[in-house]
Amino acid sequence: MWRLRKNKMKKTMYILLTALWLVCVAKTNAQCWSTISAGRFHTLALQTNGTLWAWGNNYYGQLGLSTNINNSYAVQVGTDADWIFIAAGYLQSFGIKTNHTLWAWGQNNYGQLGDGTLIDKNYPVQIGTDTNWVTVSGGAGQGIALKSDGTMWTWGWNLNGQLGDGTNTDHLVPAQIGNSHSWLTAVAGTNHCLAINSSHQLFGWGDNYYGQLGDSTTADKNIPTHIGSASNWAKVAAGYDHSVAMNTNGELWAWGMNVFGALGDSTFVNKHYPKKVGTSTDWSSFSCGLQLTIAIKTNGTLWTWGRNTNGQLGDGTSLEKNIPHQVGTLTNWTLVSASNKSSHALQSNHNRWAFGDNTTLALGDSTSVDKNVPELILTPCSALSVNSLADDVQVTIMPNPVTDKLYITNLTNELSEISIYDSTLRKIAEQAFTNAVSLNMEPFTKGIYFYTVRNKKGSIKNGKIIKQ
């Protein structure tokens, strides 16, 4: 009888523990990254549980944390878990919630938040009362958004006609552009905007000094101007002074400033009209930064070209490239976002990577050190996942649990570095490899820590360390 009861108790305990484990795993996996948007010096990201996070420069409150304090790692914005769309502008930020309300925060000296004032906000404020916003994008001083009825709205700075309303007058609240209800997508560059309508035609307006509107001129336009005659455009991105678009054939086209090779056409000559990027027809997504372009192909490979002063191309050098170059060998990239001089990318397993300039803390890796190759930014989702190292690479990490010295042995001399993170996933130690490495864990408090080991090919292995 006692044995039967004991077995029942064990079974019940097992079920309870299993349920608790499933809850913990679900909670942890819900904390993975779903989308990312890079501004000039700051970055926004959403996790799969609908929470909003931010890091980087915060001088104008663009992180939305109710302070103006910079952050070198991701910090949650408020407690809401109903965000579905984000856009980091130059020094301002935008977001849309599940109820399709529009929110903004950060710099507002030209009315770029659209809240009817010229006062900076360091926390999200709702823009108007409409509940049918679907996309939003921010430039240097302007905002542009679409509603579910296909109408397009702009606000903020209008010196170069970037609001597209036929004037050069600033607007402090969103105003509809024309009477069209057929806009599919709209994006803001520094001082120009681009959009695609339901006929898959491409339009541009605003600053055109470098030909970034693509209408074969360098004259500014203050109304949406038709670009070329093609009617098969699918996606478009606006950089600081250049533009990139993809058609339904999977081809990439670029135009505008090309001093650093951001157009990827093997020259350094500006183009005032769309020029095809190579011969590939398998591009899937892309983003433009400050004279750099980052893109993903349908096979999940990552490609970059253009300016590389701070390693923002992720190829381990600081040399500019005027044609697309593949970054590493991984084939599970899903989303990219380029900023001033840094790049960000997500993988299909929801891990976040970053590289390039980090003096403004834009990479969010708890440091201010530039990276010229992609760095995995450890998060709760990546802490439990493993990107296995090559089979021929042998690494031993012991003892674990550890009380003082942690020894990492690299028998094949194929490893490049190890990083240690605390339970909040902030990086607390980093060391380059020789053959063997020892880390002093004695000063650390008891608890759970995480590590990432990178080999010279860029592969990553994650693991957990228990400090006794």
Residue (of 362, 336, 141) closest to 237 by Cα position: 336
Q: Quote the pLDDT of residue 170.
A: 98
381 pLDDT band, cuts 50/70/90, is low
Taking only the tens place, the pLDDT of each residue in 454-466 is 777 666 777 788 8
Kindly state the average pLDDT of the residues 1-11.
42
Judge whether residue 390 has pLDDT over 70: no
CA distance 57 to 70: 5
CA distance 47 to 67: 22
CA distance 36 to 21: 29
CA distance 148 to 86: 16
Kindly state the average pLDDT of the residues 149-159.
98
Q: Quote the pLDDT of residue 106.
A: 98
Q: Quote the pLDDT of residue 417.
A: 82
Q: Where in the chain is the domain with CATH 2.60.40.1930?
A: 395-467
Q: Quote the pLDDT of residue 9.
A: 41
* 3-class secondary structure per residue, 435-455: CEEEEECCCCCCEEEEEEEEE
Give the dihedral sign, CA 92/240/325/417.
negative
Q: Quote the pLDDT of residue 14.
A: 36
CATH annotation of 395-467: 2.60.40.1930
Q: Are 332 and 350 in contact (CB under 8 A)?
A: no
**Beta carbons within 10 angstroms of residue 248's beta carbon:** 12
Q: Where in the chain is the domain with CATH 2.130.10.30?
A: 31-383
DSSP code for 389:
P
Q: Quote the pLDDT of residue 411.
A: 67
405 pLDDT band, cuts 50/70/90, is confident
Between CA 373 and CA 258, with CA 368 as vertex, the angle to 5 degrees is: 55
Task: Find where tokens 């500014």 sit.
Answer: 220
Range of weakest confidence among 35-39, 152-156, 422-426: 422-426
Taking only the tens place, the pLDDT of each residue in 49-99 is 999 999 999 999 999 999 999 999 999 999 999 999 999 999 999 999 999
Phi-psi region of 302 (alpha: psi -120 to 50; beta: other; left: phi over 0): beta
Kindly state the average pLDDT of the residues 415-420.
82
Residue (of 337, 339, 353, 287) closest to 310 by Cα position: 339
This prediction's pTM = 0.82
CA distance 13 to 82: 35
31-383 belongs to which CATH class? mainly beta
Beta bridge partners of 156: 142, 171
| 365 vs 411, higher pLDDT | 365
Tokens of 267: 């020259």
